[in-house]
Amino acid sequence: MATKDRAGDEGTMNAALRRMAESEPELAARLMLQSLPAAAASLPNGLSYRLELDELGAWRVARNGRRHAQVTEVSPGEDLDGDAFAIQTDARTLAELAAGRNPLTAMLRGRLRLRGKARKAVALRHLSQDAGPRELARMGLPLDADLLYRSLAYAIEPEWTLGYSFRIAYELLGDQGGAWTISVDDGSVSCVRGAADDADASVRMRRSDWLKLLTGELDPTDATRLGLTELEGDVFAATLVGRWIDRAEGVDGPELDREARQARRQAKLAGSWGSAVNGSGASSEPGDPGESKRQPGGLMSYEQLYALWERQNWRAHELDFSVDREHWLATPSDAQVDTLHSFGSFYVGEERVTADLAPFLLAAPSGEVEAFLATQLVDEMRHAVFFDRFMAEVMALEADDLRSRLRKIEEELLTQRPWHFLFDDSLRDIADRIKAQPDDLKLFVEGIVTYHMVTEGVLAMPGQRILIQYTGDHKIYPGFNKGFRLVEQDEHRHIAFGVRFLKDVCEARPEMKQVIVDRLCELLPEAAKVFVPPQETNSRAYWSYGQHSSQVYGFAYQALNRRMKMIGVEIPGPEELMPGPVDFSGLDERSRIREPTPA
């Protein structure tokens, strides 16, 4: 009945059973009983035997040609009635035997007794060593979640937790659900029933979805993205425990290899762009009239916006990514792909808008406009450098310079048509036309609408707000969060310039109002689909990390409408400009999980 000791990337089954045998032998025994139908599936067909555990009960285990063995409870001490043999022991000894203890020692000490055809018991060497909860779930066999969560206190190796201290509450909803709190404290792990109110993180899901995660029908990353797993608080802590669970089961080997590879890459690329670790503070005045927190007082002049730029200057090379690197290494590969896509969209976008802004600077209709656009050009390149540092030093991209990393992201991840419609067919196209006709004011107005109102105002701002909110609420990637807040601060100033310019133009040339409306109607219905995750096909309705599409479209439309009112332009309703229905309640994360109604 021994199992191999799958240490390191092969699992920690033996060590966990030894710890359980010492502290909670009944828990260990019940876990083994739960796994018996799958473990005994590898025994010779037709073999049946009895397992009798002192003070717990007796069970008949029969291999009868089915996919799994049949385990039924019987009365202790009954006649074998055709069964090959019976094993009688106690819970602690059973756990010790499963952890590799020599059965002869236990027999000599009278803690293990056999009756019947003892030689047949040799077949127990063939009990499956892979009969864990995943295999049980795939076979459709009963799973006691309480046993599994309580066993985590023993399955997670204490040495893995050194340097960490947190508590995570887990809750399974529905029939046979429950709640547990896992506590990690610098080398110790414990589990109690019930969800602690003051836990650092909470993970909540339906029991039916939990079973799908075990069978592999549902991917953990998709479960979180679709809102089937509701995660609040410290996402890094929850990720660590998830990784430790996989490591204990022996399925984290590829992730450990990936982590080591990326750690080497991070170390090689550390210090890019002359980076230091201390960030600088900056003014919090957004300047953007579309921002709901904007203080009253009207629009800033071009000169005031320039002065605001000088006050708000920050340094991309001073942001500290040391914690971000640790968070990235712990993030599983599937989740890394999702994060890389989200962050990579902004990375490539920032470089694109830097290059495409140059013609605007050359075509500026006044010196004041030229001065501000020059500051914006610097901002956009700083944003690109900020992202490049993160891609190199944290995400450890396998490319050696900025353009190579940009090319890798664009070729491998940015394949959606709406993204290319916005940046290639719309923004790059209008920049090229402005460069060819720098004195065409109508063309310049269309460019400002494309760049400042649509690309930055409608599309970038909601995405920035969602990522800042998510990384802040879940205490992950603090260096990125700080840097992206500074990027968002700059974008508010850029948008404020766009509103100021379009207002001035419309007051001098009222016919330009229609130019603005026409350009919005031309771009938004397709460009706003950049919000749609690559896994989704329905742009009208989807979920992504706690937000429904209607919230995103509603937030984007509402901000645009506020800005247009400042300019003096009436725009069509959201049903004409947005790809799907709108909800103006904001971007707070929502729960998709509801307690099932009892039948």
pLDDT for res 290: 55
- Domain span at residue 156 reads 144-251
pLDDT at 8 over 50: no
Instruction: Give the Å distances, CA to CA, from 24 to 108, 110, 111, 369, 379.
Output: 24, 21, 17, 73, 60
Q: Which of 134, 155, 179 is the endpoint of a domain? A: 134
Alpha-carbon span 583 to 226, nearest angstrom: 18
pLDDT band, very low/low/confident/very high, at 33 (cuts 50, 70, 90): very high
Quick one: 265 and 174 in the same domain? no
How many alpha carbons lie under 13 Å from residue 460 in its C-beta half-sphere? 29
Quick one: 312 and 221 in the same domain? no
Quick one: 20 and 104 in the same domain? yes
pLDDT for res 77: 87
- Write the DSSP string, 210-255: HHHHHHTSS-HHHHHHTTSEEEEE-HHHHHHHHHHHHHHHT--HHH
Residues 573-596 have a mean pLDDT of: 85
344 φ, ψ (degrees, to nearest 5): -65, -30
pLDDT at 581 over 80: yes
Is 296 part of any domain? no
Residues 541-548 have a mean pLDDT of: 89
Quick one: 154 and 188 in the same domain? yes
Alpha-carbon span 204 to 206, nearest angstrom: 7
Is 1 part of any domain? no
Q: For residue range 91-100, list pLDDT tens digits in order.
A: 999 998 888 8
Supply the mean pLDDT for the chain.
90
In terms of C-beta distances under 8 Å and separation of at least 24 residues, what long-range contacts does 130-135 make, across chains too? 131/35, 131/36, 131/38, 131/39, 131/41, 132/35, 132/249, 133/214, 134/214, 134/215, 134/216, 134/249, 135/38
Tokens of 493: 């100033």
Alpha-carbon span 266 to 258, nearest angstrom: 12
Alpha-carbon span 306 to 240, nearest angstrom: 45
Quick one: 224 and 265 in the same domain? no
pLDDT for res 288: 60
Q: Which residue type occupies 34?
A: Q
Is 281 part of any domain? no
- The Cα angle at residue 584 between residues 579 and 590, in degrees rounded to 5: 95
Closest C-alpha to 470, from 312, 277, 335: 335
**List of residues 6+ apart from 116 with CB closer than 8 A:** 49, 80, 83, 84, 85, 86
Alpha-carbon span 544 to 527, nearest angstrom: 18
pLDDT for res 299: 86
Q: Which of 134, 158, 185 is the endpoint of a domain? A: 134
Quick one: 161 and 105 in the same domain? no
How many alpha carbons lie under 13 Å from residue 250 in its C-beta half-sphere? 17
Tokens of 570: 């009436």
Other CB atoms within 10 A of residue 62 CB = 18
Q: For residue range 121-177, list pLDDT tens digits in order.
A: 999 988 887 788 999 999 999 999 999 999 999 999 999 999 999 999 999 999 999
Alpha-carbon span 411 to 340, nearest angstrom: 13
pLDDT for res 278: 39
Tokens of 535: 């896994």
Burial label, 349 (beta-carbon count in 10 A; 0-12, 13-18, 19+): buried
CATH number at residue 129: 3.30.1050.10
pLDDT for res 283: 47
**% of residues, the chain, pLDDT over 90:** 76
Tokens of 200: 């650092």
Across 2-16, 31-45, 104-118, 561-575, the highest mean pLDDT is recorded for 561-575
Q: For residue range 403-428, list pLDDT tens digits in order.
A: 999 999 988 877 888 989 999 899 99
Instruction: Give the Å distances, CA to CA, from 599 to 145, 178, 211, 228.
Output: 21, 18, 20, 21
Q: Which of 134, 159, 181 is the endpoint of a domain? A: 134
Is 297 part of any domain? no
pLDDT band, very low/low/confident/very high, at 594 (cuts 50, 70, 90): low
Query: In 502-561, at which residue ranges do the beta strands (DSSP E only) sit?
Result: 543-544, 547-548
Other CB atoms within 10 A of residue 256 CB = 15
Is 550 part of any domain? yes
Quick one: 121 and 153 in the same domain? no
158 φ, ψ (degrees, to nearest 5): -55, -35
**List of residues 6+ apart from 367 with CB closer than 8 A:** none
pLDDT at 255 over 50: yes
Is residue 73 within a helix (H) or strand (E), and if so which, with residue range? strand 70-74
pLDDT for res 6: 39
Give how far the C-alpha of residue 554 lies from the chain's centroid of Cα atoms, to the nearest Å.
Answer: 24
Quick one: 378 and 247 in the same domain? no
Q: Which residues pair with 316 in a beta bridge?
A: none
Is 593 part of any domain? no
pLDDT band, very low/low/confident/very high, at 392 (cuts 50, 70, 90): very high
Is 285 part of any domain? no
Alpha-carbon span 286 to 199, nearest angstrom: 34
437 φ, ψ (degrees, to nearest 5): -135, 70
Radius of gyration of the chain from Cα atoms? 30
pLDDT band, very low/low/confident/very high, at 282 (cuts 50, 70, 90): very low
pLDDT at 599 over 70: no
**List of residues 6+ apart from 518 with CB closer than 8 A:** none
Could you say which DSSP state residue 400 is in? S
Q: Which residue has the tokens 């694109």?
A: 352
**% of residues, the chain, pLDDT over 70:** 93
Quick one: 130 and 182 in the same domain? no
pLDDT for res 587: 87
Quick one: 118 and 148 in the same domain? no
Quick one: 228 and 359 in the same domain? no
Quick one: 164 and 67 in the same domain? no
Is 51 part of any domain? yes
Closest C-alpha to 496, from 283, 359, 362, 298: 298
pLDDT at 231 over 90: yes
pLDDT at 227 over 60: yes
Query: Pick the residue with more confidence: 64 or 382?
Result: 382
pLDDT at 9 over 70: no
Residues 371-400 have a mean pLDDT of: 95
The runs of H, that is alpha helices, within 312-439 are: 322-330, 333-362, 367-389, 402-412, 417-420, 429-436
The total of structural domains in the chain comes to 3
**List of residues 6+ apart from 591 with CB closer than 8 A:** 204, 227, 230
